[in-house]
Amino acid sequence: PSYLLLLRTRVMKEGSEKEVSATTAFIMGQFIVFISTYYPPLYLALSRPHTLTVLVIPYLLFHFCSSGTIRNPFLIIDLLTGISFLTLAFNMYS
């Protein structure tokens, strides 16, 4: 999927800022995959089911609150409810 997103930003010519951010995110993602494959403690830490959940939820809250997407504080409660539902759905079998 990351290759397709990188290709999309290259083909659509949306702007140099988006192209640079997409390329940087692609390289960092590939680097994390490489390091987590060949560095056993990081692989063990990231392979646990709830570790990624703990890492992703604060990032999503920071992203939505800092970008101005959420202007109403009550929407944060709705967002947390949706995230907890998704967490429950994805971690059902772990």
Q: Are 46 and 40 in contact (CB under 8 A)?
A: no
Each residue of 28-87: pLDDT tens digit? 888 877 887 787 887 777 777 777 777 777 777 776 666 665 566 666 666 666 666 666
Looking at the whole model, is its pTM more than 0.85? no
Q: Residue ranges of the domains in the chain? A: 1-47, 48-94
Highest mean pLDDT among 18-22, 78-82, 90-94: 18-22
Spatial contact of 3 and 23, defined as CB atoms under 8 Å apart: no
Structure tokens at 83: 């995230």
